Structures are given as structure tokens and as C-alpha cells.
Amino acid sequence: MSDLTPPFRADHVGSLLRPASVAEARKKFQENAITADELKSVEDEAIKDVIRMQEDVGLKAVTDGEFRRSFWHYDFMGMLTGFDLEERDEGVQFAGVKLRPIFPTISGKLDFPDDHSMLEHFRFVAANTNVVPKISIPGPSCCHFRTAPADIKPAEYKDADVLFGDIAATYRKAVHSFYDAGCRYLQMDDIFFAYLCDPKHREEKKAQGQDPDWLIDRYAWMMQEAIKDRPSDMVIGMHMCRGNFKSTYAAEGAYDPAADAVFNKTGVDIFFMEYDTDRAGGLEPLRLLSKGKQRVLPGFITTKTGELESIDDLKRKFDEASQYADLDQLGIAPQCGFASTEEGNAVTFDDQRRKLELVVETAKTIWGEV
């Protein structure tokens, strides 16, 4: 492939359906029937296979499918210094289903440890692909939004500015650590910008004494602080959606309250934006994208169902999107990952591959490149 420098016209969010071999090995490990090394060996082989699948469909950036994780976010957070994951009685409510009852707690001063396991996860992908290795991690906002005020234990973190400052510093260290590991394409998923566009979630934050618009601004500040000193050859992506657990969702509402902060206050290069249903609102917020090198990948292709979108419909949607943002600043990606948790969405492996092939085909049809 001639140009392997992101951003690309065709891309995907990161998580992919776990094969049976990985699911079975993880279960055996939890039952103490196999060792950690035996589990890793199974994961290694499955990740090599899924890297080849992504390369075969024509993608220029590949991930490990997040095969070593249970959740898209909690695994990363639980590996941070000062963060713990606690299992309780009842999980977070999604539409018609509840998440497994894992709750993040901040127990001490936050930091990014030098031996964070996902650095090695990235190195494995880099060693086994001929295209660009990418890793997706939860963004800084996740550490605050997903942690209840009562679960923030250090007294100094009762001051939100102190907490946000330490979260930003932790992520700044993470960014440079991934760069030192060879990462030139890092994605940080800050989906809670979209949650804060949902009237229900906005009211919940108000009930906690937090202004949702102030949170949007502070979340943008944390992202910008985390990445502003990155080396010039490091590209940063950010995914936004409204929840993804077994093909269900947890929020709805147009991007309007957050669009200006997202596009103009974060410093992010590539935006993966959910746009597969009316829950995401209209395309008008794209008008706030600054002219230049930033790129938006509207997620017109859903990962929640196996039904395949048509090229003609996708072309019409990009015709509409180009009324608000320059077509040259657009690309295509699925609306979310295929398996934000290890359970995965209600789609098949064949559905997943066909969706990724459609991403590539759409990019070639509209822009003549991937």
C-alpha cells in the first residue's frame, strides 16, 4: 500500500467479535483450568488471525480487536495507578439490559504506570502487521464520567480542578509512553461528549451538582492537555457514540451541545462519530469542523445489526454531509466497535467482515482511495 500515514478514508473503531477460542480460553482461565501464559498463547494466535482479516479486507490501520479485554474501557482504567474496579450487585442500565456490575473507583493519586499492559498489547500488533498498528483506549473523560462521586476517595480530588488536572497528566504520560512503544496512531474514545448531549444524562449530572456544559468544556480541556505536547508524527483519533453493549445503547441526542468543544477545543485529528440512527441527530454539527487537516468519519454503517447498508444510500448520506463539511475532510467507519465488551454485538463474523468490506468499498467509490 502506497500511503500508510493516517488519517485514512476507511477505518474502524477498534473492537471486533471474539472468536470461540478466546471466549473458551478466558472462561477456563477464570476457572483456573489454564495458566495466564496458556491464555496469552490462545489470544496471540487469534489476534494474528484477526490482523490478517483486517489486512485482507483492505484496511490500512489494524487493531488487536481488543481480544485481551473484557470491556473497552474498564480494563485500561483498572491498570492505572490509583484506580480500582469493584464488582457490585447491579450494573449500569442500557436500553433493556444492564451491564455487568463492575464499578471504577479512584482510591489514590492517579498515574500511568510504566508497565501498563496495553503497551505490550500494542507492541504485539505492531510486530504482526504490514500496515499501521492502532490501539484504542478510553479517553480522559471516562475516568470522571464513569466514576460516581462517592467512589472518588482521595480528599484532594473533591476539588474537580485537581482531579481533572491529574487525569490529564496521567493521559499525557500515557500518550508519550505509547509513542515510545512505537505507536503513531492512538485513538482515545471519549464517548461521554455524546452522552452529555442526552437530556436524561444532562439531568443526572445536574442532580449531582455538575453543569453538563461545564463538563463538556472540562472534558475537552483534559483531552487537549493530554495530547498537546505529542510528537508531530503522532496522530490522535477520538470515537464518540451513545453506548454499545450487546447491540443496545445508553444515550441519545444530537451532537449540538458538544460539537464546538469537540472540534475546536480538543486538538484531536480524527473524529469517529456515530451516525447510524436518528438517535444521533442531524449532520448540521459538522459545520463547526474547522477547515484544515482534521477528518470526520461519520458512522453511517451500523455494528448493532447485520443488515448491510447499500452503497447508494451511503453516497446520498455523504452528499448531505458535504453540505456541512468539505468532502475532503470526511471518511467512513462503522458507527462503533463490534464488541465493546467481550460478549459482542448481535452480529455474526460474516456480518462483521462484510461491514468492513463495505467500509473499504465505500471509500474507494467516493474518494478513489482507502
Question: Who's near 31: CB < 8 A, 6+ residues apart?
Answer: none
Q: How far is CA 170 from CA 113, 176, 341, in A?
A: 9, 10, 24
Contact 332, 362 (CB under 8 A): yes
Question: Who's near 241: CB < 8 A, 6+ residues apart?
Answer: 191, 194, 249, 274, 299, 335, 336
Q: Is 253 helix (H, G, I), strand (E, B) or coil?
A: coil
**Closest to 338 (Cα-Cα) out of 249, 242, 246:** 246
Radius of gyration of the chain (CA): 19
**Cell numbers 461491514 correspond to what residue?**
355
**Closest to 132 (Cα-Cα) out of 70, 59, 192, 196:** 59
Q: Which helix (H) or strand (E) element contains residue 221? A: helix 212-227
Break the chain into its structural domains and give their ranges: 20-367
In sequence order, the β-bridge partners of residue 256 are none
Residue 246, all three cell numbers:
450487546
What pLDDT does residue 178 have? 98
Residue range 139-185, pLDDT digits in tens? 999 999 989 999 999 999 999 999 999 999 999 999 999 999 999 99
CATH topology of domain 20-367: TIM Barrel (3.20.20)
Residue 8, all three cell numbers:
485514512
Residue range 179-193, pLDDT digits in tens? 999 999 999 999 999
- Measured from the Cβ of residue 124, the count of other Cβ atoms closer than 10 Å reads 18
**DSSP tag of 107:** E
What pLDDT does residue 137 have? 97
What pLDDT does residue 2 have? 59
Q: In this model, does residue 283 exceed pLDDT 60?
A: yes
Amino acid identity at 100: R
Residue range 91-126, pLDDT digits in tens? 555 455 555 688 899 999 999 999 999 999 999 999
Residue 248 — φ and ψ, nearest 5°?
-105, 180
What CA–CA distance (Å, rounded) separates 232 from 153?
37
What pLDDT does residue 305 have? 96
Residue range 132-145, pLDDT digits in tens? 999 999 999 999 99
Q: Using CA atoms in the order 169, 265, 340, 283, what is the torsion angle rounded to 10 degrees?
A: 180
**Closest to 239 (Cα-Cα) out of 359, 335, 135:** 335
In sequence order, the β-bridge partners of residue 105 are 84
Residue range 241-270, pLDDT digits in tens? 887 777 776 789 999 999 999 999 999 999
pTM: 0.94
Q: Is 5 helix (H, G, I), strand (E, B) or coil?
A: coil
**Closest to 141 (Cα-Cα) out of 52, 217, 45:** 217
Contact 121, 60 (CB under 8 A): no
What pLDDT does residue 98 have? 52
Residue range 42-78, pLDDT digits in tens? 999 999 999 999 999 999 999 999 999 999 999 999 9
The chain-wide mean pLDDT, for the chain, equals 94
For 112-212, strand residue ranges (E) read: 132-133, 135-138, 185-189
Residue range 4-28, pLDDT digits in tens? 999 999 999 999 999 999 999 999 9
Q: Which of 43-52, 84-93, 330-339, 351-360 has the lowest mean pLDDT?
A: 84-93
Contact 239, 280 (CB under 8 A): no
Residues shown for the chain = 370
Q: Which helix (H) or strand (E) element contains residue 259? A: helix 256-265
Question: Who's near 176: CB < 8 A, 6+ residues apart?
Answer: 229, 230
Measured in whole angstroms, how far is the alpha carbon of residue 244 from the centre of its chain? Answer: 11
What pLDDT does residue 26 have? 93
**DSSP tag of 285:** G
Provide the b/e sequence for 181-211 (b: ≥16 CB within 10 Å).
Answer: bebbbbbbbbbbbbbbbbeebbeebeeeebe
Confidence of residue 221 (pLDDT cuts 50, 70, 90): very high
Sign of CA dihedral 341, 344, 349, 351: negative
Q: Which helix (H) or strand (E) element contains residue 272? A: strand 270-274
Amino acid identity at 331: G
What pLDDT does residue 93 have? 52
